[in-house]
């Protein structure tokens, strides 16, 4: 065990990303809570995504845990999605909840319209000018089989590029928007409804293709296929060619880790340094999978040349306070 860890046990999972954290109960951090949180944060920054088994947090525990790492945030109004009663900070990640709100098999339908096989890789709310810093995802119900989530290390992906490609990427910016990785058709009435909604209420930002991490100083290839529409300043065919190279590089197997969920699991990841891929192997089944997500507010990405992300449309994410933030029922201070 390395010197930084005296309160937790950290075990690497994959070669370049992921670690399991043992020896800690996230509901009862005890008198050395500050030291334990410091060590968890060190492990998170080093391994990019960390996993806690058999935690069985409730909604109040979940929100309280996230707040130990920063201010909680979410998309405003109905754009946030479905949340548990009394806890609007929490997003319910459940195909049934999404389908009830947006129409039958919404995610499956979008998946079938993907531009590429890897178009699902995404950074949470990347279309915001200040995407969240950390994501906290917990599992309540898991499928009998399938339903795994994957993460890829965007810092390792940058390091794996040749020097000429790194230098090119350092100077580029990309536009990010919701559903950029799928092909929506004006001839399809359901697609047209989605297009109209996007035009009426669009969240659109320009980010550096390479992001300098504000805490570690590492460079990361901040280019998730799900949200990137094009590289700004280039001709369309130039942009497509470069994106094809970088998109295929981001999800190379050596940069990834895969997690098989069990009820009670908690995953925490650095949204500034990883992209993740939701499972698509359940679309043709009736298997149930129910998760809950809380996000911690982030800052504007900054590129190697000092370029700071710019908002094209939509307001930055803000700290969210509301029901579920009261001290009653949360973890002890």
pLDDT tens digits for range 166-180? 999 999 999 998 877
3 in any annotated domain: no
163 in any annotated domain: yes
Q: Do 291 and 94 form a contact (C-beta atoms < 8 A)?
A: yes
Per-residue pLDDT for 79 more than 60? Answer: yes
CA distances from 125 to 23, 46, 191, 252 (A): 32, 22, 21, 23
Which burial class, exposed, middle or buried, applies to 287 when counting CB atoms under 10 A from its CB (0-12, 13-18, 19+)? middle
Q: How many residues does the chain have?
A: 333
Percent of the chain with pLDDT over 70: 86
325 in any annotated domain: no
The reported pLDDT for the residue numbered 129 is 98
330 in any annotated domain: no
CA distances from 171 to 253, 302, 306 (A): 26, 12, 10
2 in any annotated domain: no
The CATH number assigned to the domain holding 298 equals 3.60.130.10
Number of CB atoms found within 10 A of residue 315's CB = 11
Number of CB atoms found within 10 A of residue 244's CB = 11
DSSP summary character for residue 317: P
pLDDT bracket for residue 147 (50, 70, 90): confident
- Among 332, 210, 231, 226, smallest CA distance to 273 is for 210
71 in any annotated domain: yes
319 in any annotated domain: no
The three-point CA angle 137-35-327 to 5° equals 60
Tally the domains of the chain. Answer: 1
Extract the tokens encoding 150.
């994957």
pLDDT tens digits for range 80-121? 888 999 999 999 998 766 544 444 455 666 667 666 777 789
pLDDT bracket for residue 77 (50, 70, 90): confident
Per-residue pLDDT for 11 more than 80? Answer: yes
Extract the tokens encoding 295.
């996000």
What is the pLDDT averaged over residues 228-242? 96
Per-residue pLDDT for 76 more than 90? Answer: no
Between these two residues, 244 and 198, which has the higher pLDDT value?
Answer: 244
Per-residue pLDDT for 2 more than 70? Answer: no
Which structural domain range is residue 109 located in?
9-313
Residue matched to tokens 């200040």: 130
323 in any annotated domain: no
pTM for the full predicted model: 0.89
What is the pLDDT averaged over residues 176-204? 77
CA distances from 303 to 87, 145, 167, 176, 208 (A): 35, 41, 12, 15, 5
Give, rounded to a whole angstrom, the gap between the first and last alpha carbons of the chain: 28
Alpha carbon of residue 225 to chain centroid: 13
């Amino acid at each position: 065990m390395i010197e930084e860890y005296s309160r937790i046990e950290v075990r690497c999972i994959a070669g370049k990303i992921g670690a399991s954290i043992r020896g800690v109960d996230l509901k009862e951090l005890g008198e050395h809570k500050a030291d334990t949180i410091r060590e968890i944060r060190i492990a998170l920054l080093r391994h990019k995504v960390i996993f806690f088994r058999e935690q069985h947090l409730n909604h109040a525990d979940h929100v309280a845990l996230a707040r130990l790492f920063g201010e909680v945030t979410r998309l405003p109004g109905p754009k946030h999605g479905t949340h548990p009663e009394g806890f609007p900070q929490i997003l319910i990640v459940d195909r049934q909840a999404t389908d009830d709100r947006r129409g039958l098999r919404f995610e499956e339908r979008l998946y079938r319209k993907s531009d590429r096989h890897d178009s699902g890789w995404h950074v949470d709310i990347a279309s915001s000018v200040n995407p969240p810093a950390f994501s906290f995802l917990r599992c309540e119900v898991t499928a009998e089989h399938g339903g795994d989530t994957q993460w890829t290390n965007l810092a390792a992906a940058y390091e794996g590029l040749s020097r000429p490609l790194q230098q090119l990427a350092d100077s580029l910016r990309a536009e990010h928007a919701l559903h950029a990785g799928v092909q929506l058709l004006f001839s399809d009435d359901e697609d047209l409804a989605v297009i109209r909604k996007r035009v009426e209420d669009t969240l659109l930002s320009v980010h550096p293709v390479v992001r300098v991490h504000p805490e570690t100083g590492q460079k990361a290839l901040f280019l998730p296929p799900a949200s990137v529409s094009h590289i700004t300043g280039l001709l369309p065919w130039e942009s497509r060619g470069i994106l094809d190279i970088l998109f295929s590089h981001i999800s190379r197997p050596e940069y990834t880790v895969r997690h098989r969920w069990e009820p009670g699991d908690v995953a925490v990841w650095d949204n500034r340094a990883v992209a993740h891929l939701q499972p698509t192997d359940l679309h043709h089944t009736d298997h149930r999978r129910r998760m809950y997500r809380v996000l911690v507010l982030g800052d504007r990405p900054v590129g190697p040349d000092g370029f700071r992300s710019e908002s094209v449309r939509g307001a930055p994410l803000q700290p969210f306070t509301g029901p579920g933030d009261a001290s009653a029922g949360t973890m002890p201070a």
